[in-house]
Structures are given as C-alpha cells and as structure tokens.
Structure 1
C-alpha cells in the first residue's frame, strides 16, 4: 500500500494549520466607498449600509462623483448628510472634468463650510466613454494640479488614486508611477489603490512606489465581487486583471445569489488575510452601497462594533 503523495501531504499540512482568521488582533483600520443614490429607494439602501458599517469605526467613508460632474449635487448632499448626522469623517470625490478652477474652488469651499475636511482628488473620466480626457480651458489638467489647487484653498486632507496594474490611458508603467509621485509631491496625504485580485499585485506595486521615492501610505482598494459581469466592466475601465480561476469559480451561479455572495466573501477575505500577513493594516472597500460583504470581511479581520461609532455626538 502506497503512502500519500507530496501534494496530498502539502494539502494536509495546510488543513491542519491554525484557521486563517483565528483570533486576529482586530488592529486593522477600514474605510468604505459609496456612490450617491439616484432614487428614494437607493437612498434608503445607502443609509442602511452606512448604519451597518458605521459601528466598525471607519477612518473615513467616501462618496463618488459621476463622469463630467454628473452627480455633483447628489454627491454634495450625501457627503454633507454623513458629516452632519454621523461621527464618521466624510470624504468627497472631486474631479477636474468639465470644471473651471473657479467652479472647483466654489465646490471645495461649500464642502469646507459643510464640515467636510477630506477630498478624494481625481482627474476623472470623460463624460462620454471612450473619449480622450480634455482639460477644461480654465481648469486643472490633472489630479496633481487639482491636489495643489485644493491645498491652496483650504488645509484639506487629500487622497488620490493609484493603479497597481497601470491606468489604461498611461503610456507606460513608469509614467503612471511618475504621475502618482507628482500627486503625492503636490500634497496628497495618501493614495487609494484601484481594486485588484492578487495580493502580489499590490505588494509589487507598493515596492515599486517605495523605490520611486513615494512615501505616502498606499491603501489597497478591495472590491468584493458579487456580480462578475459588472466587475468585468469595471476591470476593463481601470486596467485590473480578473484571473481565470476566479471566472471559473463563479461559473454556473447566475441563479444562485446566496452562493455567489458566499464565494465573493471567501475570495476577498482570503486576499485581505494575505495582505494583512504582509503588513497591511488599512483596507478601503468599494461597497457598491451594500454592506454585507464588507461587514463580513471586516469581521473575519477581527473588527468588532463600537457602540459609540454610530451616533453624532450631541
């Protein structure tokens, strides 16, 4: 009778190791991204998500801004409400698209007056998909210029975007890294990465950034996948690769939403655990205005609710 093969022994060793998520210290910090709601029903869903995630004490929550400023008013209303009704620091996305410097200053001052002290400064996508970005004749040419301009208006905390797999419109990986350094040199406090599906992608990017002299924190952006078709569309827009094994895991689950949720949480949680093992202690979740997957992953990472984190102090 032959003994177990080497591959079987390796699998047994893994299975007998301590569980991946056993007794984590709960020392990870998190932040969450939402988009402004279009309808009353979507607004209700958004606030349910915020109420669910708020007790985890996020460092901040951010609210996105549509192409060409198409959600400007809704973004402002959502961020202002978070700032006034919760204890969570609220961050507003702001882009250069189709806005003059004077318009951006007006928007930024309105945020400051509403108690918002954190801006996510982005170049932004053109209003029409597939078009090349064209700066407003009286506007900022890119996110580095926008960051410097915002710092002149008020002492905002500023986050910018980073692209571990290179922005699709960048001429090269080095040019993309140079652009990130320009944003940090212009005053950005941190970079938030576009989503990715391999821990090594993030770690290689973090090492390249450090070698390029980028000292700001680079926070990994995590997208728990609940809809593969939607994720594929997002990935195409931002240059993120979806590994073939991940495609295969979701095959045959179109009519099984609960199974999709379970698999999405498992994949994202395992990646976060591997990032945590590599020293990452801040995770930024792209929630798509749903709390369940992000909450489950945070729980696995050791975070527990804080009863004082939800209500605005009287």
Structure 2
C-alpha cells in the first residue's frame, strides 16, 4: 500500500496572504514525497499568470509540477506559445482539459474537445510532456450518456494521453466500473482516483452539486445531521475518505491524487492513517 505514488492539486491564490499560506501548506505536504503537484487553470485561462507562477515556485522547491492546461476558447497560436513557455520553465507534465469559458462568453476558439488539445500537444511537442487527462467515474455532467462519456475518454487515449485523473467520488464501485468498462474498450491508461478530503459539509455539497459528483445519500444525511459541529464533520470525513482510499488500493488503483483545496491537515491525517506519513509530518 505504502509504495503507491501520491500527488496533490493546488489552485493559484488570489492574494499575497494566500500565496504565503500555500507555501507553508506545500512544505508540510512535501513530507509525503509526492510524485508531482498540479496547479489548476481558471475558466478561459483566467488564472494563467497565477497558475504559471505557482508552477514555477513548485519547481524551484525541487518538486515535480504539473500545469493544468485548458483549451476551450483558445487559439492554436496561443496554445503553442504557452506550451513553449512551459517547456522553457522545465515543466514535463500537463493536465490537459477542455475547460470552461468565463460566464458570458461564447464558445469560440479552435479546440472543441480535450482530445483535440491532446492531439495538438503531441503534434507540437512529441513526447516532451507526460499528458494527464480527466476521467469521470460517475459520468461527466454534460455527457449525453455514460457510453458517450466512455467514448470521449477513449478518444483522449487515442489522441496520446499517458494517464488519467478522476473527478472525486465517494463510491468506489463507480471507479472500478469505469476502469473496467474502459479496459473493455481497449483503453489501458492508468486511471488515478481523485480524492477529496471532507472538511466542510456546506463546501462539499456545494461543490458536488456544481460539478456532478455524487455524495452518497448516507454520507449526505450524516453530514447534514452534524449541523454546525465542525469537529464531528471532520472526524466523520476522515473515516469515510480513509476507508475509500483503503478500498481503492485493495482494488488495484495505481496511485492517489488529493484535491487539497490549498489545505494540508486533512490530507496529512489521511496519509497518517494509511501509514504513509513519516513521524512528525
């Protein structure tokens, strides 16, 4: 169990105090020896400067960094220039996504799907980047059907993706079913489960309703029953997510990718319970 790679996702802070806080969070999480840390990319590239600045810091701290990279609304010229910038920075891993446009914008751009972006990156840069793509065990909220979603995933694999990171989930069976259905289509990419620690009921339920991730009814009801008891919510969340991680590893998950929300405490405690955290971490 302990040899499985770990990775962490951060988002670029909007204010100087957030930047300082994230630096401290990263240092605490580096004790877990992550394979890489990824940095998200805002709708329509709205956090481009913050994303790239955070990636530069992570690289300067001696860690592997993956830049999220979305394409909807983008031109080939802009993507080509940003790929060159990332290569010059020393980035060797991308999380290639379709992404979202800021509210009020039309589609535009020269890419329609993430598979288009993956194919373009491969054509432009060869094997310069390890390309991660997204996977949705509970089906992308905009997909016409689960089968259409699987076909979209297969298209990303055919375009040249190396591996995938899933949307977070709390039903391990959904992950195993997605992985097995993808294998039946001939898609053998490593599918890394995305893990979201539970630290706030309100935040979790809001995020989940927005992105289409399912919170099982029994989990939702328990969270609601705790009301404003933050400590009970955190304790329950640690139990749920630790058990989820244990089952995923037992079922053959190749790694674990934690959505940290720029916090360290819950991820460190889950790692400790899994026997992954060194003493004092």
Same fold at TM > 0.5: yes
* CA 1:171–1:289: 2 relative to 1, 3 Å: same
Report matched runs for 1:249-264 at 5 Å. Answer: 249-264=222-237
Match of 2:33 among 46, 53, 57: 57
Q: Is the 8 A contact 1:61 1:88 kept in 2?
A: yes
Report matched runs for 1:62-211 at 5 Å. Answer: 62-84=38-60, 86-128=61-103, 134-136=107-109, 139-154=110-125, 155-211=128-184
Matched pairs, number: 278
Query: Considering only CA atoms, is the larger Rg found in Structure 1 or Structure 2?
Result: 1
Structure 1 gaps of 5+ residues are: 1-24, 308-314
Q: TM-score, normalised by structure 2?
A: 0.94
Q: Identify the residue that residue 304 of structure 1 maps to in structure 2.
A: 277
**Superposed displacement of residue 232, structure 1:** 2.0
Looking at structure 2, the residues matched to 279 and 78 of structure 1 have their Cα atoms a distance apart, in angstroms, of 32
* CA 1:141–1:151: 2 relative to 1, 3 Å: same
Looking at structure 2, the residues matched to 128 and 306 of structure 1 have their Cα atoms a distance apart, in angstroms, of 46
Instruction: Provide runs of 4+ in structure 1 moved above 3 Å.
Output: 252-255, 304-307
- Any idea what the Cα deviations from partners look like across 1:90-141, whole Å, max 9, x if unmatched? 0000111222111111111111101111110000022128x8x7241xx222
Q: Is the 8 A contact 1:56 1:306 kept in 2?
A: no
State the secondary structure of the residue aligned to 1:268: helix
Looking at structure 2, the residues matched to 73 and 169 of structure 1 have their Cα atoms a distance apart, in angstroms, of 28
Structure 2 gaps of 5+ residues are: none
Report matched runs for 1:233-272 at 5 Å. Answer: 233-272=206-245
Match of 1:289 among 253, 262, 278: 262
Looking at structure 2, the residues matched to 271 and 29 of structure 1 have their Cα atoms a distance apart, in angstroms, of 16
* CA 1:109–1:254: 2 relative to 1, 3 Å: farther
* CA 1:206–1:296: 2 relative to 1, 3 Å: same
**Superposed displacement of residue 179, structure 1:** 0.7
Looking at structure 2, the residues matched to 296 and 28 of structure 1 have their Cα atoms a distance apart, in angstroms, of 17
Q: Identify the residue that residue 40 of structure 1 maps to in structure 2.
A: 16
State the secondary structure of the residue aligned to 2:38: strand
State the secondary structure of the residue aligned to 1:127: coil
Looking at structure 1, the residues matched to 138 and 224 of structure 2 have their Cα atoms a distance apart, in angstroms, of 25
Q: Identify the residue that residue 20 of structure 1 maps to in structure 2.
A: none
